[in-house]
Amino acid sequence: MAMNTQGRPSRPVSNIEQGGYADTFSGSRGLDQAEPLIFERGRTDITGVDFPKAKGTKARLGGLERTDEIGLPGLTEPEAMRHYVRLSRKNYAIDLGLYPLGSCTMKHNPRLNEKMARLAGFGDIHPLQPQSTVQGAFELMGELAHWLMTLTNTPCVAMSPKAGAHGELCGMMAIRAALDARGQSGRRRVLVPESAHGTNPATAVQCGFYCDEIPAGPDGRVDMDAFKAKLGDDVAAIMLTNPNTCGLFERDIVEIARLIHEAGGYFYCDGANFNAIVGRVRPGDLGIDAMHINLHKTFSTPHGGGGPGAGPTVFSEALAPFAPVPYVVKDGEGWRMVEQEDEAEGEPFGRMVAFHGQMGMFTRALSYMMSHGADGLKQAAEDAVLNANYILARLKHIMTPAFDGTCMHEALFDDRFLKDTGVTTLDFAKAMIDEGYHPMTMYFPLVVHGAMLIEPTETESKSGLDRFCDTLESLAKAAKDGDTVRFTSAPVHAPTKRLDETRAARNPVLVWTPPAETLEAAE
């Protein structure tokens, strides 16, 4: 008899009869530890570090020194470390598994990028350093600008916008400056397709324009007749995403560009989905006047709770003179930053940020571009489209695609397949959490009922996509077979069960307040 069979059962005792999981005394579940707020874990009236009482010092604050506790949690280094590691274990990340969230994707972030961004010459510099000491950083910015202009076939790029929506603002401010410069400040109407990202109309309104919605045709693309009917001499611009938010290529884009120019307006292209066409299509060839590029999406820099964005904005010849400062220029052997509007060649509409943009993102994006090469970038776009179409093809027999035909980099389903099952898109998404997947984008775009927008990205292997599709197939089948509770009670295997979103939205608690006993202890 082997020792370990004595008094040491090697099989679990089923506790189903007792109702499955029992509540634990600690609130933890196995090794998934319950983690309170850091203020609740550390006492706010102590410090994690013991300093000896300073001798012979004299307060010089004239009676203004603090007398009550500062209220910061006092934790030792290991306690603080454990707090954040425990929290990170509750998070779902691109480094853990497939992240099908569409629109603003979480892409693979190559480790090489991280290594490059930490090089001292890029990572440890300060924006106020003398220009002669940051020539390498300037060259990197110049090189990245060159890549972006080449990939889009445009003559100018503003590097400083710090995210997609900031890039939109940059583009629309340039359009407004251009209209003012030609004495057409009366042009205030901006055409926005109804499937647009919410940031598009918000940006237009922020710049003093107002929006006019273009309906989508039955194929999910801009309704050309409706678009033509809306053109007029008060139109400032159209804001169009291509591929659009339904994951479809706007086939009429060249015609749209021609017509908007003929009507005296400009073409702002939302470049959020550039990752589907980079290397295949140069937006400048399509007739766009301005487009932001999400470095944090198309060029793999971390974003979405994982880091700052960067939204460089490219301009056509028509808008280039109005691009904002600052920008770098090659000056003989070295590089120079053009900081002031009066040093600039054109008539910049101004400056958008205090410094020069997101240097860390620039380094990562250029690292991605140079390690992939032009052919590699093209293949990444092709693989993103291939992967989305693979999902569409594998699931269309059991889920309902929103539109006929193939898609670009994201596959869009509606909720017709859930009709009469008692399961909603939200329930379906929650059940995916139980299966170990982050849900896809849901209920967006708004033009599709109960939308489920899946963007697998280019890095997923066929076997990874198959596992994902197998799971979704099983879920769709379970919903149709009437296993409604599986969905309406989900998630049951996540660290936190289903939250009451309505109550959270109606009665948000935005500020942590210490429990009464903590307050008393501090007094």
Residue ranges in contact with other proteins by CB under 8 A: 443-444, 446, 501-502, 505-506
Q: Strand ranges (DSSP E) for 127-225?
A: 156-158, 189-193, 210-214
Q: CB of residue 445 vs other proteins: minimum separation in angstroms?
A: 10
**Between 156 and 447, CB nearer to other proteins:** 447
Contact of 498 with 491, CB cutoff 8 Å: yes
Q: In the complex, what is the shortest distance from the CB of residue 449 to other proteins, in angstroms, rounded to a whole number? A: 8
Query: Whose Cβ is closer to other proteins: residue 272's or residue 447's?
Result: 447
Least CB distance to other proteins at residue 488 (A): 14
Q: CB of residue 508 vs other proteins: minimum separation in angstroms?
A: 9
Q: Which two tokens stand for residue 505?
A: 């939205």
Cβ closer to other proteins: 368 or 417? 417
Q: Which residues contact 354 (CB under 8 A, 6 or more apart)?
A: 127
Q: How far is the CB of 502 from other proteins (least distance, A)?
A: 4
Structure tokens at 9: 């059962």
Q: In this complex, which beta carbon is closest to other proteins, that of residue 315 or of residue 428? A: 428
Tokens 């076997």 — which residue? 463
Q: Which is nearer to other proteins, 23 or 501 (CB)?
A: 501
Least distance (Å) between residue 201 CB and other proteins? 10
Q: Which is nearer to other proteins, 21 or 210 (CB)?
A: 210
Rounded CA separation 293/204 (Å): 18
Nearest to residue 311, comparing CAs of 321, 301, 320, 319? 301
| Contact assessment for residue 274 and residue 293, using Cβ atoms and an 8 Å cutoff | yes
* CB 41 within 8 Å of CB 504: no
Least Å distance between CB 443 and other proteins? Answer: 5
Query: Rounded distance, CA 203 to CA 174, Å?
Result: 12
Q: Is the CB of 145 or the CB of 412 nearer to other proteins? A: 412
Residue pair 293/314 in contact (Cβ under 8 Å)? The answer is yes
In angstroms, the Cα distances linking 297 to 102, 104, 242, 368, 506 are: 11, 7, 15, 11, 33
Give dist(CA 345, CA 336) in Å, integer.
Answer: 14
